[in-house]
């Protein structure tokens, strides 16, 4: 009669309306989840040693902890070993640069010597991170100066033999703990 239109909207979910955003037309609803129905899947097998609102710590035997340099942010991917960088004839680390190709895309690359050129090429190809036995101090400074976010971890020769069986399997680089986590 007075030009007012009335409509009813029935939601398909149950919850509490938090806000209505006029600009976008979004209606934000907080749903009530049963905590028992939530499922958390661990990336590694192990025993939970700490669980609080900030973190969950899992003690696992599937990790290799390094004392070497750690740069960038955490990352994960399939382990790709650049065999050509470990060859006897490849004393010159720049020769490994030519062997780094699209096979490294989305993978954590294990090389003997990591140079800034190898790192830049790997980043442009789409590598997920690097593990290396040797990184020069100049290249470490370069990575820090350029604030490259790609995870880089220096490991020792003894860890190389532990990593070889994990080629083509998922690994994660935890920068804060300087660890390579071997995923199940």
pLDDT at 90: 46
pLDDT at 34: 67
> For residue 101, what are the contacts with CB-CB under 8 A and spacing of at least 6?
125
pLDDT at 109: 93
> Where do we find the tokens 């995923």?
183
Across the range 153-171, mean pLDDT stands at 84
Q: What is the pTM of this model?
A: 0.65
Of 135, 132, 133, the closest CA to residue 143 belongs to 135
> For residue 97, what are the contacts with CB-CB under 8 A and spacing of at least 6?
115, 117, 118, 121
pLDDT at 14 over 60: yes
Q: Report the range out of 66-70, 121-125, 159-163 with the highest average pLDDT.
A: 121-125
pLDDT at 80 over 90: yes
Q: Report the range out of 30-39, 52-61, 123-132 with the highest average pLDDT.
A: 123-132
pLDDT at 67 over 60: yes
Indicate the SS3 state at residue 11: coil
Q: What domains lie within the chain, and their CATH numbers?
A: 61-182 (3.50.30.10)
pLDDT at 132 over 70: yes
């Amino acid at each position: 009669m007075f030009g007012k239109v009335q409509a009813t909207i029935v939601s398909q979910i149950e919850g509490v309306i938090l806000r209505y955003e006029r600009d976008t037309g979004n209606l934000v609803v907080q749903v009530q989840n049963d905590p028992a129905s939530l499922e958390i899947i661990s990336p590694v097998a192990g025993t939970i040693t700490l669980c609080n609102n900030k973190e969950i710590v899992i003690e696992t035997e599937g990790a290799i902890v390094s004392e070497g340099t750690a740069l960038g942010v955490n990352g994960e991917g399939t382990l790709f070993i650049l065999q050509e960088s470990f060859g006897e004839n490849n004393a010159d680390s720049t020769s490994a640069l030519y062997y780094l190709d699209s096979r490294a895309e989305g993978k954590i690359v294990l090389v003997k010597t990591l140079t800034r050129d190898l790192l830049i090429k790997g980043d442009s190809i789409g590598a997920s991170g690097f593990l290396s036995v040797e990184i020069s101090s100049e290249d470490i400074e370069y990575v820090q100066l350029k604030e490259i976010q790609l995870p880089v971890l220096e490991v020792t020769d003894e860890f190389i033999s532990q990593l070889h069986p994990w080629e083509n399997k998922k690994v994660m680089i935890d920068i804060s703990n300087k660890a390579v986590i071997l995923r199940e």
